[in-house]
Amino acid sequence: MKKLHHPHAADMDISSVLHALSDPVRLQIVSEIAAGSGQACNTFDVPVAKSTLTHHIRTLREAGLVQVTVQGTQHIVALRTEDINSRFPGLLAAVLGAKANE
């Protein structure tokens, strides 16, 4: 099985994080995860095909926003809140707050 790459918190780049959060679908995914806890990829309520959802989750993972773990046949996606807040204090709260006020 292929091992998924997750950047270290120190390697997270603000431009990559902001790019990942700039897409409405990816922002919706982050909002859904933040509202609960880790969830399986097939449970997101987004209007895209499965292959497109995979692309969006990969973009979030490579930016360092989410942690993807494999449990059997499912991929569980969880927000890396602690890493994001330590690297970019207040960013996640500001972005999610703005999303909630839409």
Give, for 53, the enclosing helix (H) or strand (E).
helix 50-63
In a domain, 47, yes or no: yes
Domain range for 65 is 12-100
pLDDT digit string, tens, across residues 66-92: 999 988 888 999 999 999 999 999 999
Q: Say if 4 falls within a structural domain.
A: no
The number of folded domains in the chain is: 1
* 85 or 99, higher pLDDT: 85
* CATH for 59: 1.10.10.10
* pTM for the whole structure: 0.92
| Neighbour tally for 65: CB within 10 Å | 27
- Give a yes or no: residue 1 inside a domain: no
Q: Is residue 96 part of a domain?
A: yes
| Average pLDDT score, the chain | 91
Q: Answer yes or no: is 43 within a domain.
A: yes
Residue 54 lies in a domain: yes
Q: What is the DSSP string of 14-26?
A: HHHHHHHHHSHHH
